[in-house]
Amino acid sequence: DAGITQSPRHKVTETGTPVTLRCHQTENHRYMYWYRQDPGHGLRLIHYSYGVKDTDKGEVSDGYSVSRSKTEDFLLTLESATSSQTSVYFCAIRQDMGATEAFFGQGTRLTVV
């Protein structure tokens, strides 16, 4: 257990509603990442953070925003959920530039109906 907790673990929401997923770490790691996983696409990077208030976009960032106001928390927000955002979302953490391994949370299964 790498000290990562994602919440909620499962969520069903309606199209057009905002949704926020939370990633909480107890490791004080600098780097945090949000990925989504869909059949046939593997894991795709949505956004990442390299410190408090320091975030950047990944390859599939459209429709998503993030915030990191504390080292331990990285929030992913779907501004207006769409059915194409139905997916499993994983948070990952990485210690620093010298430690390259990334460790994953348990995942959040999001269904947009």
Partner 1 sequence: QKEVEQNSGPLSVPEGAIASLNCTYSDRGSQSFFWYRQYSGKSPELIMSIYSNGDKEDGRFTAQLNKASQYVSLLIRDSQPSDSATYLCAVSSSGSARQLTFGSGTQLTVLP
Which residues, 6+ apart, have CB-to-CB distance to 35 below 8 Å?
43, 44, 45, 46, 58, 89, 90, 91, 92
Element (H, E) at 112: strand 108-112
Q: For residue 83, state whether it binds partner 1 (rule: CB under 8 A).
A: no
- Residue 106 interacts with partner 1 (CB under 8 A): yes or no: yes
* Interacting residue with partner 1 among 5, 22, 27, 45 (CB under 8 A): 45
SS3 85: helix
Q: Is 9 in the site for partner 1 (CB under 8 A)?
A: no
Residue 3 contacts partner 1 per CB under 8 A: no
Binding site for partner 1 (CB under 8 A): 31, 33, 35, 40-45, 48, 50, 56, 58-59, 90, 92, 94, 97, 100-107
